[in-house]
Amino acid sequence: MTEAQALIRAVEQADSAPRLVAAVRDLAAAEVEAGISTLIAVLGYNNPTAAAAAVQGLIQIGSPAVQPLIEKLDDYNYGARAYAIRALAAIADPRALDILLASAATDFAPSVRRAAAKGLGNLRWSELSTQQQTAAQAKALETLAFIVQDADWSIRYAAVVGLQGLATTSELTPQIQGKFAQILETEKDAAVRSRVQLAQSQLFSTTF
């Protein structure tokens, strides 16, 4: 049995919550591609500590985990889905664009939508061709501009964070600056307003 197999087996055979968490941490720390599907399975175990460790492991593995994360996205468990989207958002591989767009716009679970909204601002656009980049960034802006009008404050907050990220990583900064000004005209929620002001100050160095 290889070391990776032993680590995977320890996760599968853990018979208590503390053992599971310890085994997942060990497997995550090993950063082996063979462990990807086991780490993804842990996202659905309804153990937040183990899931957080698995997300961390998947993020460190990076790009090789992207395709499996997309393929195994759990349509029936929104808790697991939120962890997977958080991992995809942090890995920031632009292959996740479509799944992030769909999750941000139409998932029923706010935790999934928030994670996707944040992720849409931070993808590594440079891995796309110039032509693809323009289209992908326009799509991200369109979706974020749409959900920044959501009825749920936490979705609007996450959309502002996503827009700030997009303003930093793309050349859409002027449009996003305009969008922020527009949001401040209508936004009633003090927390969301504060987040817009923070984004403006960090992006455009307006002074308080």
Partner 1 sequence: MQDSNWSEDSVAETQGLTVEQAIANLRSPDLSLRYYAAWWLGKFRVNTPSAVAALIVALEDEDDRTELGGYPLRRNAARALGKLGDTQAVPGLIRCLACEDYYVREAAAQSLGMLDAPTAIPALMELLIGGVEVAMPVPGRPHLTQPYDSVIEALGALQAKQAVSLIQPFLEHPQAKVQYAATRAMYQLTQEDRYGQRLMQALEGDDLQLRRTALSDLGAIGYFPAREAIARCAAENSFKLLALKGLLEHQAKQHETPTQDAIQVMNLMDFLL
Report the interface residues with partner 1, using CB under 8 A: 48-49, 110-111, 114-115, 117-118, 149, 151, 153-154, 157-158, 161, 188-191, 193-195, 197-198, 201, 208
User: Smallest distance, Å, CB 4 to partner 1?
Assistant: 30
CA pair distance 175, 164, nearest whole angstrom: 11
Instruction: Select 32 or 112, whichever has its Cβ closest to partner 1.
Output: 112
Query: Which residue type does 7 have?
Result: L
Instruction: Select 81 or 114, whichever has its Cβ closest to partner 1.
Output: 114
Pick from 166, 165, 144: nearest CA to 155: 144
What backbone phi and psi angles, to 5 degrees, belong to 158?
-65, -35
Pick from 186, 193, 176: nearest CA to 141: 176
Q: 52 is written with which tokens?
A: 């957080």
Under a CB-based contact definition with an 8 Å cutoff, are residues 43 and 84 in contact? yes
Instruction: Select 7 or 85, whichever has its Cβ closest to partner 1.
Output: 85
Q: 43 is written with which tokens?
A: 């996202």
Instruction: Select 81 or 118, whichever has its Cβ closest to partner 1.
Output: 118
User: Smallest distance, Å, CB 59 to partner 1?
Assistant: 14
- Region of 10 (left: φ > 0; alpha: ψ -120 to 50; beta: rest) is alpha
Under a CB-based contact definition with an 8 Å cutoff, are residues 52 and 80 in contact? no
User: Smallest distance, Å, CB 102 to partner 1?
Assistant: 17
User: Smallest distance, Å, CB 115 to partner 1?
Assistant: 6
User: Smallest distance, Å, CB 9 to partner 1?
Assistant: 28
Instruction: Select 64 or 79, whichever has its Cβ closest to partner 1.
Output: 79
